[in-house]
């Protein structure tokens, strides 16, 4: 098996509905400009609350993709 190198970046996804949808939004957006996404790791979850109700769910994550050179 050939050796591979992966790059890891940090993203924040948001959703008005759930942490799962916030994570999915970040992954979907990353897949539009990055190829060969591999693993996402959730670092933090938080929710902005207003008037006692959740307003925006946020997920901070690391996502890795196969590194092909460049920046």
Q: What tokens were used for 16?
A: 């008005």
Model confidence pLDDT, tens digit, residues 9-49: 999 999 999 999 999 999 999 999 998 999 999 999 999 99
Cβ burial, residue 1 (10 Å; 0-12/13-18/19+) = exposed
Q: Domain count for the chain, please give it.
A: 1
Q: In what order do the strands lie in the sheet with 53-66?
A: 6-15, 53-66, 37-50
Q: What is the pTM of this model?
A: 0.83
Residue 1 lies in a domain: no
Range of the domain at 14: 6-66
Taking every pair of Cα atoms in the chain, the longest distance, rounded to a whole number of angstroms, is 55
User: What is residue 2's predicted lDDT score, i.e. its pLDDT?
Assistant: 74
CATH number of the structural domain spanning residue 27: 3.30.1660.10
Residue 42 lies in a domain: yes
CB-CB contact of 63 with 13 (8 Å): no
Residue 39 lies in a domain: yes
Residue 16 lies in a domain: yes
């Amino acid at each position: 098996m050939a050796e591979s190198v992966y790059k890891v970046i940090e993203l924040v996804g948001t959703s008005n509905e759930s942490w799962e949808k916030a994570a999915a939004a970040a992954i979907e957006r990353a897949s539009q400009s990055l190829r060969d996404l591999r693993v996402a790791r959730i670092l933090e979850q938080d929710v902005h609350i207003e008037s006692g109700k959740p307003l925006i769910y946020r997920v901070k994550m690391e996502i890795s993709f196969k590194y092909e050179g460049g920046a």
